Amino acid sequence: MEKVVIIGGGYAGIYALRELVKNKNIKITLIDKHTFHNLQPEVYDLIANKSNIADVTIDLTTLCLGFNHNYLEYKNLKVRKIDQESKKIFTEEEEIVEFDYLIMAAGTRTFFPPQIPGLNNAHDIKKLHWAMFFKQSFENQLFKKIQDEAKKCDDTHIVVVGAGLSGVEIAAEMAYNSKMFFQRGNFSCDNLKISLVSSSDTILPGLTPELISISHKRLKSLGINVITNTKLQKCEDGYAHLSNGTKIYNSFLIFTGGVEANKITEELDVSKNPKGQIIVNEFMQSDKDPKIFAIGDAAEIKNKKGEIMPPNVTIARISGTNAGKNILRMIDKKKLVKCDPKLDGILIALGGKYAAGNIADLFHVKGRIAYEIKKYVFSSYRKPLLGLIKTGYSKLKKMA
């Protein structure tokens, strides 16, 4: 029986799994150090009190039980070493997992440049536990302001460094959430400030000028101070020192300035880019071993024009599905299918029930309609998974 192992239960890993389970005669093992699939694009709703933990996670144990497959298992393990020659995965828990085919889907994490002193104190909201910590700290900060407002009303400043999708969305949600908080309570101490710092000459570099313009206007309307062409130089004594010569005293500093591949990829003797992402061919295979695949954020994926695709859910879906199909085709000794990654478009949450988007490079949308489209896209992904975990939960209860 062929053994297929997926390392990483994120979007790409789940899409690969959904393909692999179509073959009932292979053994599939999903390994993840977390017990849940984090629905990362929706974490901003969690911070803004529009959802709870159950809304932004999918339990991996019940998910795997929900699939109709007798040889599928989920293992909550932390990978320590991968031996390509013996095809064995060694874990911190001293459990060894063997494989014939391996899919690397461990994703990326926020890269904190070591040359920026003091940056190790910044928050990485890509990780759910830090998002929860930040949510609680943010709410405590708001409570402290209204608690002390009669005696003093000190400025509270939050600095978000990095004006890509993550930075723009979190800044917008925080600004909207605090604005509604003060309006609802009619509190006098309404002086929370948010600064968004971009090293580029604009926010959202690489996106269409119209989408950038819509987003920039929305951020300004929320009172966000947008600073462009500026880099963070150091964090010291509660101050963010910027390359334009200014320094900002802040209660929180969130860094979203870049990503790097999960350290697990270092264990593999395959070609990687400077970010540590595995370079793959048009079949999602690594260059030195055709039975080792990489997908989603863990891979450097190019389209037919040779352009590197951005890390997002669409590319995770396309690459994960393609890798799953190709492994099944390899097992059946069939010709592999080339991956043709294309973006369906992009949708950006901009606080409250307001979003902006570019749909398949055909037209732009903004406001409530863009927000509803974004929610529909998320629901389309989450709904079938909810059905699976419900089935898995029922199975688990019967086994107990």
In the prediction, which pLDDT does 184 show?
A: 60
* pLDDT mean values, one per 10 residues, the chain (400 residues): 96 96 97 88 68 82 94 96 95 96 91 84 65 71 62 70 91 83 56 88 93 97 95 92 93 82 87 94 96 96 90 92 98 96 90 91 94 90 90 87
56 backbone dihedrals φ, ψ, rounded to 5°: -115, 15
Residue 149 lies in a domain: yes
What are 214's two structure tokens?
């819509």
The b/e string for 35-46 (b: 16+ C-beta within 10 A; e otherwise) is ebbbbbbbbbbb
* Structure confidence at residue 263 (pLDDT): 85
Report how many domains make up the chain: 2
- Give the model's pLDDT for residue 199: 93
* DSSP sequence for 338-377: -------EEEEE-STT-EEEEETTTEEEEEHHHHHHHHHH
Per the structure block, which two tokens stand in for 127?
A: 């990780």
Evaluate whether residue 183 is within a structural domain: yes
What CATH number did the domain enclosing 96 receive? Answer: 3.50.50.60
Range of the domain at 12: 3-33+77-110+259-342
Give the pLDDT confidence score for residue 188 in this predicted structure. 47
The pair of three-digit structure tokens given for residue 49, joined into one six-digit string? 């009190």
Contacts of 30 (CB under 8 A, 6+ apart): 5, 6, 9, 13, 17, 60, 64, 72, 73, 74, 75
The whole-model pTM stands at 0.88
CA distances from 226 to 48, 63, 124, 201 (A): 20, 41, 20, 11
200 and 94 in one domain? no
Same domain, 238 and 293: no
Residues forming a β-bridge with 14: none
Say if CB 142 and CB 192 are below 8 A apart: yes
User: According to the model, what pLDDT value does residue 150 have?
Assistant: 46
Element (H or E) spanning 6, and its range?
strand 3-7
Q: Return the pLDDT at 352.
A: 87
